[in-house]
Structure 1
Amino acid sequence: MTIFTANPHLLSTLAPFICFIVTVICLLTSIKIMRRYRHKQVFIILICGLGTAAIPQLLNAYAASSLQAVPESLYIISTIAGTISFIIINFVFMKMYAIGIRIRIAPILLLSLGAAIAIAASFLLAPYEIGGTKALGFPVLDFYMFILIITMLVVTRHIEMPAAYFISLCVMFSYQIALMLHQYVFEHSQPWLGALVMALPVLYYFLLFYLLLEWIMERLLTTYQSAILDGLTGLYVRRHFQKKLAEMIARKPAAVIFCDIDNFKSLNDTKGHHAADQALQQVASILRDEVAPHGIAGRYGGEELLGAIEIDKVKPQTIAERIRARVEQETIVTVSVGFCTTKESAELASLVKLADEAMYYSKSTGKNKVTSYRSIPAAYKNKA
C-alpha cells in the first residue's frame, strides 16, 4: 500500500496525510483501550500492526509534501511494513469480532515471512522499473497480496464478522487490482487509475477506524446492559426498575403489577433448573410484551417479576389478566398476580409492597388469579 512517485495533484498530496492521521488516531485509541481491557495481548498486537502501518503512510506523506522520491531502501522497508501491518490488523480484527477465534502468532509470522520472500523474489528477478523510470514495482509481492486478500475473503465468509470488515477486504481487493493495472499494465499512463490507487487506502483506513469504534460501542453497550438488565430474563434488574418506576409515578398515575410463578420450587425440584429457567424466561417475555406499550418490566428476585404501567389510557386489571391468561395458555406454569395503583399509594416502596400483598392474596386463595389491592377484604389487610 505504498505509492512514492511525486505527483502535484491535490489528491496525491492529501491522501497520504489522511491515511497517516487516521492510522495514528486508531493507534492512540488502541493504546487507551489496552490500558483498560483485560485481554491486553490482543491490543498489544493491534498496536504493533497500526504502528507498522504508520511507517509507509508517514513516508508517503513525506514524499507528497517534499515532491521527492523516497530512497530505495526506505521504500522497500515501507513496502514490507505495509504488507505485514495488513496481515496483523486483519488477524486482530477477526479475533476481536469472531467468537471462538484465537489469535496465533505463528500464522502471522508465516504470512509475514511470505511477504519478505516475495520481496526477495522480486529482487532476484530484478526489480520492475515502471515505464523506464526509477519508480520500482514488486510484481511478486503484489501478486502475493492479491492471493492473500482473496484467501481472507474466502476464509472469513463463514465467520460472523461485521459488514464493514468484508467491505474493507473488498476495498483492499479493488486497490490491489487498481495498483497492478496502474503499475504493470498502463505504467502510470492513466490518471484515473492513479487517483483510484490514492483514494482506496483512505477509504480502507476509515473503515478500520469505524470497525474499532464499533467494537468500542458494542462493549460499552454490553457493559451498560449488564448493569441494568437481568442476564436470564432480559428484564430490568431491581435497582434500575425502581429508578424507572420512580420517574413514572412522578409523571403520571401508574400501577405496579406483581407476578409470582406458582409452584416454582416444585418445578425446579422435579424437572430441573433448565425447565425452570425456561419457564421463567417465557413468563418474563409475556410480561414484557404486555406492559411494553404502557410501561416497563423488571425482575424483583427469584421467580418474582414486576410490571409498571401508566394507567391514564389502560386499566391495570386488563393488563394483569392478559398476563395471567397468556401464561396459563402458553407455558407449563401459572402465575399469581396482584396489582396496586398510585391512588392507594404514591410512594415507591409502599406501592411495590401493596402490590406484593395483593399477589400474596391471590396465591393464598387459590393461585392462578389476579387480585387488586383495593379488592382485598379489610380483615385480611388488617391481619397482614
Structure 2
Amino acid sequence: MNLTTTNMIALLPFISSMICCVILAITLLTSIKIMVSYRNKQVFILLISSLITAGLPQLLNLYQVSTQQQIPYLLYIISTMAVIISFILINFVLMKMYAVGIKLRIAPMIMLLLGAAAAFAASFFVAPYEIGAGLAFPILDFYMFILIITMLVVTRQIDMPTSYYYSLLVMFIYQLGLMLDRYVFEWSQAWLHTLVELLPIMYYAILFYLLLDWVMDRLLSTYQSAIIDGLTGLYIRRHFQKKLQSMMQRKPVAVIFCDIDNFKALNDTKGHQVADEALQQVAAILKEEVAPYGVAGRYGGEELLGGIAIDSVKPMAVAEKIRARVELETIVTISVGFSTSKEATELMLLVKQADEAMYFSKTTGKNKVSSYRSLPASIKQKM
C-alpha cells in the first residue's frame, strides 16, 4: 500500500464525520423550519433531539481525529450509546411520519431504550476492546446489531417507503462491517475500513431524502386538496373554470353539463353510500371521455362539467358517448346539455348556456343530450 493511499485512509474518518455533520446540520435546520408551521410539534421535537444526539459521536470523532488525543473512557461509551439512542428515536419518528392509519405506541420505543440502558450499564462491567488508540464496546455493538435486525423484521408489517428499508439495510451492512472490522480483522483490512467510514454518509443522506420526500408529499396533498373534489376526484368548480378559461384563449371549446337523473330519490331510497358510488362512477366516465380533449370538474351536488377543445372532435359525439356509457355501466342515467364558444365567448355565459341545455334535456324526457344551439328561441330569449 503506497503512502498516498495510506494517507487517504487515515483521513477517511475525518472526511466521513465532516460530511455526516453537514448532512445532519441541514436535516436539523430543515426539521426546525418544518416544526414551526407543523401542528404535531412533538414528532419534530423528537426528530430534532435524535438528530442532535446523532451528531454528538460525529463531533467527538472529528475532535479525536483532528487533535490525535486519547478520548476518555466515559466519552467513548457515551458516544456509542448516542448512536443507539438516535437510531431508536429516528426510526420511531419516521414510522410516526409515514405509517398512516397505524397507531404507534410509545411502549416499544421505551422498551428498546431500556434495553440500551441495560447494555450501557453492562458495558461498565466488561472491559472495553482496545484497538490501537481506540476503544470498542462489544455489548453495545451487539445490541445495536440486534436492534437493526429487529427494526427490519418489525417494520415489514408497516407500509413504509422503499427508501426507509434502504436506510435499514445500509445500517445493517455498516454495523456488520463495523463489528468485523473491530473484532475480527482489527482494522487490518483497508477496504472494509473504508466501507465502514463511508456507509454513515449514505445512511444520513437517505434520512435527509426521507424528510424531503415526506414534506413534498404533504405539499402535494395540500395542493391536490385545494383543486380536487374529494368525493369525485374531479376539479373543484373554481379550478375547472381556471383551466377552461386558459383553453378558451387558445382554441374553440365546448362545455358539457351533466346532471344525474332522480338523484335525490336514489339518495332517499338506497342511501348516501349507493348514491355516492353512483356519483363517483359517473364522474369517472366523464373524466375518461373528456381527458383526451380537455378537463372535468364538479359544479355542485350531482352536477358535473366537462370542458373540451372542439377543434378535433364534435361535442355532441363526446356528450352522447358519456350519456350512453352512464346508462350502460351504472344504475343511473344523466341529462346532458352543451354549448360551444361559438355561442358565447365569455366563460360564465357559456356554462349558463350548457346548464340551460341540460335543463331542457331533463324537462323533456331525461337521459338525453341537448345542444344549446338547437333549443327553441323562446327559451334562449329568457337568458
TM-score class normalised by the smaller sequence: over 0.9
Aligned to 1:268: 267
Aligned to 1:309: 308
3-state SS of 1:251 partner: coil
Q: CA RMSD in A?
A: 1.5
3-state SS of 1:20 partner: helix
Aligned to 2:333: 334
Deviations 1:86-106 (A, max 9, x none): 000001101110123344444
How far did 1:10 drift? 4.0
Deviations 1:329-372 (A, max 9, x none): 00000000111110000101000000101111111110000111
How far did 1:375 drift? 0.9
Aligned to 1:118: 119
- Contact kept, 8 Å, 1:7 with 1:67, in 2: the verdict is no
Asked if 1:343 is matched to 2:342, the reply is yes
Aligned to 2:32: 31
Aligned to 2:173: 174
Aligned to 1:51: 52
- Contact kept, 8 Å, 2:335 with 2:358, in 1: the verdict is yes
Separation in structure 2 between the aligned mates of residue 365 and residue 65 of structure 1, nearest angstrom: 88
**Structure 2 unmatched ranges of 5 or more:** 1-6
Separation in structure 1 between the aligned mates of residue 382 and residue 151 of structure 2, nearest angstrom: 72
List aligned pairs for 1:20-99, cutoff 5 A.
20-99=21-100
Aligned to 2:220: 221
List aligned pairs for 1:1-384, cutoff 5 A.
9-130=10-131, 133-383=132-382
What TM-score, normalized to structure 2?
0.95
Separation in structure 2 between the aligned mates of residue 80 and residue 108 of structure 1, nearest angstrom: 15
Aligned to 1:3: none
- Contact kept, 8 Å, 2:70 with 2:133, in 1: the verdict is no
3-state SS of 2:258 partner: strand
Separation in structure 2 between the aligned mates of residue 28 and residue 104 of structure 1, nearest angstrom: 27
- Contact kept, 8 Å, 1:7 with 1:64, in 2: the verdict is no
Q: What letter is aligned with 1:372?
A: S
- Contact kept, 8 Å, 2:9 with 2:194, in 1: the verdict is no
- Contact kept, 8 Å, 2:232 with 2:279, in 1: the verdict is yes
3-state SS of 2:343 partner: coil
3-state SS of 1:290 partner: helix
Deviates more, 1:21-30 or 1:107-116: 107-116
How far did 1:180 drift? 0.6
How far did 1:382 drift? 2.4
How far did 1:12 drift? 2.4
How far did 1:383 drift? 4.5
How many correspondences in the alignment? Answer: 377
How far did 1:124 drift? 1.3
How far did 1:108 drift? 2.6
Separation in structure 2 between the aligned mates of residue 29 and residue 102 of structure 1, nearest angstrom: 26
3-state SS of 1:129 partner: strand
Separation in structure 2 between the aligned mates of residue 346 and residue 11 of structure 1, nearest angstrom: 69
Percent of paired sites with the same residue: 68
- Contact kept, 8 Å, 1:119 with 1:138, in 2: the verdict is no
- Contact kept, 8 Å, 2:326 with 2:332, in 1: the verdict is yes
- Contact kept, 8 Å, 2:255 with 2:305, in 1: the verdict is yes
**Structure 1 unmatched ranges of 5 or more:** 1-5
Q: What letter is aligned with 1:296?
A: V
Q: What letter is aligned with 1:144?
A: Y
Aligned to 2:3: none
Q: What letter is aligned with 2:40?
A: H
Deviates more, 1:331-340 or 1:46-55: 46-55
Separation in structure 1 between the aligned mates of residue 321 and residue 225 of structure 2, nearest angstrom: 29
Distance 1:7 1:282, change over 3 A: same
Deviates more, 1:8-17 or 1:340-349: 8-17
- Contact kept, 8 Å, 2:9 with 2:190, in 1: the verdict is no
Separation in structure 2 between the aligned mates of residue 146 and residue 52 of structure 1, nearest angstrom: 19
How far did 1:241 drift? 0.6
Separation in structure 2 between the aligned mates of residue 125 and residue 68 of structure 1, nearest angstrom: 24
Separation in structure 2 between the aligned mates of residue 119 and residue 129 of structure 1, nearest angstrom: 17
Deviations 1:114-152 (A, max 9, x none): 22321332331211122xx34211111111111111111
How far did 1:233 drift? 0.4
Separation in structure 2 between the aligned mates of residue 10 and residue 286 of structure 1, nearest angstrom: 63
3-state SS of 1:300 partner: strand
Separation in structure 2 between the aligned mates of residue 332 and residue 236 of structure 1, nearest angstrom: 24
How far did 1:69 drift? 4.1
3-state SS of 1:259 partner: strand
Separation in structure 2 between the aligned mates of residue 60 and residue 339 of structure 1, nearest angstrom: 72
3-state SS of 1:256 partner: strand
Distance 1:110 1:18, change over 3 A: same
Q: What letter is aligned with 1:231?
A: G
- Contact kept, 8 Å, 1:92 with 1:103, in 2: the verdict is no
How far did 1:284 drift? 0.3
Separation in structure 1 between the aligned mates of residue 257 and residue 42 of structure 2, nearest angstrom: 47
Separation in structure 1 between the aligned mates of residue 335 and residue 28 of structure 2, nearest angstrom: 56
What TM-score, normalized to structure 1?
0.95
3-state SS of 2:79 partner: helix
How far did 1:57 drift? 1.5
